[in-house]
Structure 1
Amino acid sequence: MKKIIASLTLAATAFANTSLFAAEGNAAPTGVLHLDHVWVILRENHGYGQLRNNPNAPFINKYAESANTADNYFAVAHPSLTNYLEIVGGSNFGVLADNFPDWHNPACTPNIVSGTQNNEHSGGAPVCPIYGNGSDAPTPAIDKTNETTGEPGTINIDGKMSIPADTSTHGRTIADQLVARGMTWKSYQENLPVFGADYVNYSDGTFTNNSILPAPLKSSDIVQLYAVKHNPFAYFQSVQDGYDPQLSLSQVRGFDGQGGLYEDLGSGKVPNFSLIAPNQCNDQHGRGNAGPICNFDPADNGTQTGLNNALIYQGDVTVQRLVTAIRRSPAWNRGRNAIVVVWDENDYSLVPITNQVLFIVDTNYGRHGVHSSRFYDHFSLLRSLEAGFGLSCLNHACDAQSKVMGDIF
């Protein structure tokens, strides 16, 4: 009986996925030829001007010159989780905060269905598992109600462009799309505990938010190296429930060990799409309890003078390590492939500082050293990935201003 119920559940889930996929109703974008593998390396909380020509980021700047860059590329909104969701799903899904998931709660109504927002003033309320259809939250050009209250306000995008709410938002991501087309994905999360991501909000690789620590230690002593806010797929009901093993938390792996990033790269058995999130010391985010090298920037004022130079350099070495490992993988020379290095947001974007971030794409084909001045944002990235994988556009990736990045892919 259990097997019958499981089979029926899988069939129902597959039917729902297929129906929603069809409901998107859009042809696959064009402008990027077929891609076999894409690795997206996410970086944290620094603007374009803080990294470009920064002497403490020598590899990143050399890489930006030898690969291709979008020099007019913008993150969408704030904070981190919002941008991660926008990269993989083309929407904020009504989530404008870094709050933890409300794990496996079927009674919790998703924000897109309820029409409410989970924002910085929601008191840390967990994020309901995302599914279904409805409306996301609008993105004003200058936000004076979420991360800041009143003047001068936080700039979203370039401070001029605003995005209205999408009332036909689908609670899906590129992972749903890939699996529906028989392709594969993984979310590689550094310092994920060995037992996986389920119910884990943060971890140092050993201890998690669920650990019982020996006295006198307390949960605040744990260095939050892995952070679920940087693992966007974990917020979706399809992945949490995992009725389809290919669309489940089993596709969320660490950097090391069986099925991890480095083993997959070494064997060449890599998914079509990889989201790579280094830990919060290696992604340039920083932590306040991990020592001086990993400390937050002492004066996050939008300039290079306010940065923790050690944190910037540590992140630079991490990018070099990851790019080198990918390019040495047997998979790199098999098919048409791309590496994307992108920052989630300019964490310091009070007026007049915009949300411009650095974007690098490296391919094993075509031209290199191209510097594009065209306007792009995170929705452009998703649309470009969908074009390369032959997938229909999803949510705001379908918007008229979301252009395919054909000049640098």
Structure 2
Amino acid sequence: MKTAAKGLTLFMSLLGGAALAAEGPVPANIPRLDHVFLIIMENHGYDQIVGNPNAPFINTYAKRANSATNYFAVGHPSLTNYLEIVGGSNFGNLSDNYPDWHSVACQPNLKTGVVQTDNPATGVICPIHGSGADAAVTLFDATNEVEPPATSVTNIDGIHSIPVAKNISGKTIADQLVAAGRTWKSYQENLPLSGADGVNVSDGVYTNKTDFTQIKPALTPPLTSSSLVYLYAVKHNPFAYFKNIQDGANSKLSLAQIADFDGPHGLYADLGSGEVPSFSLIAPNQCNDQHGRGNAGAFCNYDPSDKGTQDGLNPALIYRGDVEVERLVKTIHKSTSWREGRNAIVVVWDENDYSATPNVNKVLLIVETNYGVRHHTNTAFNTHFSLLKTIEGGFGLPCLNHACDPGVLVLSDLFAVSHDWDHDGDND
């Protein structure tokens, strides 16, 4: 905790005075964008990925395209960062807890002011709606999982913190896009055929809703939910936590906008047809996004330990994620939607996860456009709020919640126009 005193005196330096909220002006200095493909990877800090020999494509891609070297996740755990990326706030949630699906009895954290945490466990999350106060982003978080004897993980960089904002709007970029007549979709690998409604975890076939006693003939020992490999996880699907999306059946703000990678309306089908939404959130499964699972075999095992360095990582898990990014990027490049209009691929890691204080929450951000500069490195201090603000600017949307805070920059140099861009999609 040696940096605490320094951090308390400096937390306003870049994020500015009292935090703003709701919607503000449309961010400037970002070229108009037609499509954004946002690929979110998991649980590894900047130094664990950059220079890692088990991530050859990612490292080559970061150099060929554009990248940020001073970019930080905001909080912990995963869901908190996904919410911050799409909504500019944690909405009072510092947990990976499941949604309280379609509940009309509970009150959202924005209204109650109660903060959701993993430790102590606070239960399922009321559908997000309305407006109110979110949770402060403190210098250090002791409510998250850490490897003993550590007692905290670092939010942002251990220097900047963000006070509570009291008029946070319970909405996301999806609401903004629909209001502007544009489209969005959340692509979630291994989502079951039944769709996202009520599904917290799934291997693509079986889910938390499966009655395993109905699988006949019964095996010995019997099949149970404990054998389920959590490939899809709702904590990586932030839109599913919002009331209007849970309840908006057949509307443009609904669970119908959440699809698997495969299938007739999945990511690969949409890319093949060229019929993709303006904004695509792309979440690989937990073996392919470098998160790992403890019951999915050696190639998907969790990292043996997390020291904030490459030492202690599962090399097979890192490589598996590298192959997934390469597959996604190259498939996007082959789509007609990539070649038409101004488009961007963004690859970002959600957090550094269990790497304990004093390690900071710096993660890799890669940006490729089909119209602009490449081989560029951004060295300015930026966070997930900067990414949201930048994407909103490209779509002509107002900044939302903490993306409007003083000191939150746009990543204008990573999205800048170049007149000699190679448009053939091979990124030579």
TM-score range, shorter chain: over 0.9
The 2-side partners of 1:314 and 1:203 are apart by 19
Is 1:58–2:56 an aligned residue pair? yes
CA contact (8 A) 2:344 2:370 kept: yes
The 1-side partners of 2:65 and 2:328 are apart by 15
Is 1:300–2:325 an aligned residue pair? no
Cα deviation for residue 270 of structure 1 reads 0.4
CA contact (8 A) 2:117 2:143 kept: no
- SS of the residue 2:411 aligns to: coil
- SS of the residue 2:275 aligns to: coil
Is 1:255–2:261 an aligned residue pair? yes
Cα deviation for residue 26 of structure 1 reads 1.9
CA contact (8 A) 1:78 1:147 kept: no
1:20 is aligned to: none
Cα deviation for residue 181 of structure 1 reads 0.7
Is 1:334–2:333 an aligned residue pair? no
Residue pairs, 1:207-246, within 5 angstroms: 207-213=206-212, 214=215, 215=218, 216-243=222-249, 245-246=251-252
The 2-side partners of 1:144 and 1:230 are apart by 22
1:192 is aligned to: 191
Cα deviation for residue 122 of structure 1 reads 4.5
1:286 is aligned to: 292
Residue type of the alignment partner of 1:91: S
**Cα separation, partners in 2 of 1:133 and 1:244, compared to 1, 3 Å:** farther
Is 1:359–2:365 an aligned residue pair? yes
Residue type of the alignment partner of 2:38: V
2:170 is aligned to: 171
Cα deviation for residue 150 of structure 1 reads 10
2:24 is aligned to: 26
Computed over aligned residues only, the root mean square deviation of the Cα atoms, in angstroms, reads: 1.4
1:4 is aligned to: none
1:16 is aligned to: none
Ranges in structure 1 where 5+ consecutive residues have no aligned partner: 1-22
Is 1:91–2:89 an aligned residue pair? yes
Cα deviation for residue 219 of structure 1 reads 0.3
Q: Give the TM-score normalised by structure 1.
A: 0.92
CA contact (8 A) 1:144 1:150 kept: no
Cα deviation for residue 153 of structure 1 reads 2.5
**Deviation digits for residues 329-375 of structure 1 (CA, Å, limit 9, x no counterpart):** 00001110000000000013312110000000000011100011011
CA contact (8 A) 1:84 1:232 kept: yes
- SS of the residue 1:86 aligns to: helix
CA contact (8 A) 2:120 2:143 kept: no
- SS of the residue 2:338 aligns to: coil
Is 1:158–2:164 an aligned residue pair? no
Cα deviation for residue 44 of structure 1 reads 0.2
Structure 2 residue corresponding to 1:108, chosen from 92, 106, 109: 106
Cα deviation for residue 145 of structure 1 reads 4.3
CA contact (8 A) 1:233 1:239 kept: yes
Structure 2 residue corresponding to 1:44, chosen from 9, 22, 42: 42
Residue type of the alignment partner of 2:177: L
- SS of the residue 1:276 aligns to: strand
CA contact (8 A) 2:300 2:317 kept: yes
2:383 is aligned to: 377
- SS of the residue 1:139 aligns to: coil
The 1-side partners of 2:149 and 2:264 are apart by 49
The 1-side partners of 2:369 and 2:286 are apart by 27
The 1-side partners of 2:249 and 2:195 are apart by 17
Cα deviation for residue 75 of structure 1 reads 0.3
2:424 is aligned to: none
**Cα separation, partners in 2 of 1:289 and 1:75, compared to 1, 3 Å:** same
Cα deviation for residue 212 of structure 1 reads 1.3
Ranges in structure 2 where 5+ consecutive residues have no aligned partner: 1-20, 416-428
Residue type of the alignment partner of 2:239: F
- SS of the residue 1:306 aligns to: coil
The 2-side partners of 1:109 and 1:25 are apart by 23
**Deviation digits for residues 57-77 of structure 1 (CA, Å, limit 9, x no counterpart):** 000000000000011000000
The 2-side partners of 1:318 and 1:25 are apart by 35
CA contact (8 A) 1:24 1:392 kept: no
2:282 is aligned to: 276
The 2-side partners of 1:341 and 1:25 are apart by 25
Cα deviation for residue 244 of structure 1 reads 5.9
The 2-side partners of 1:117 and 1:63 are apart by 38
1:181 is aligned to: 180
2:414 is aligned to: 408
Among all aligned residue pairs of Structure 1 and Structure 2, give the percentage whose two residues are the same amino acid: 61
Residue type of the alignment partner of 2:30: V
CA contact (8 A) 1:42 1:341 kept: yes
The 1-side partners of 2:167 and 2:145 are apart by 26
Is 1:344–2:350 an aligned residue pair? yes
Residue type of the alignment partner of 2:319: Y
**Deviation digits for residues 30-85 of structure 1 (CA, Å, limit 9, x no counterpart):** 12111000000000000000000100000000000000001100000000000000
1:67 is aligned to: 65
Cα deviation for residue 87 of structure 1 reads 0.2
Is 1:390–2:396 an aligned residue pair? yes
How many pairs align? 387
- SS of the residue 1:69 aligns to: strand
Structure 1 residue corresponding to 2:119, chosen from 118, 121, 135: 121
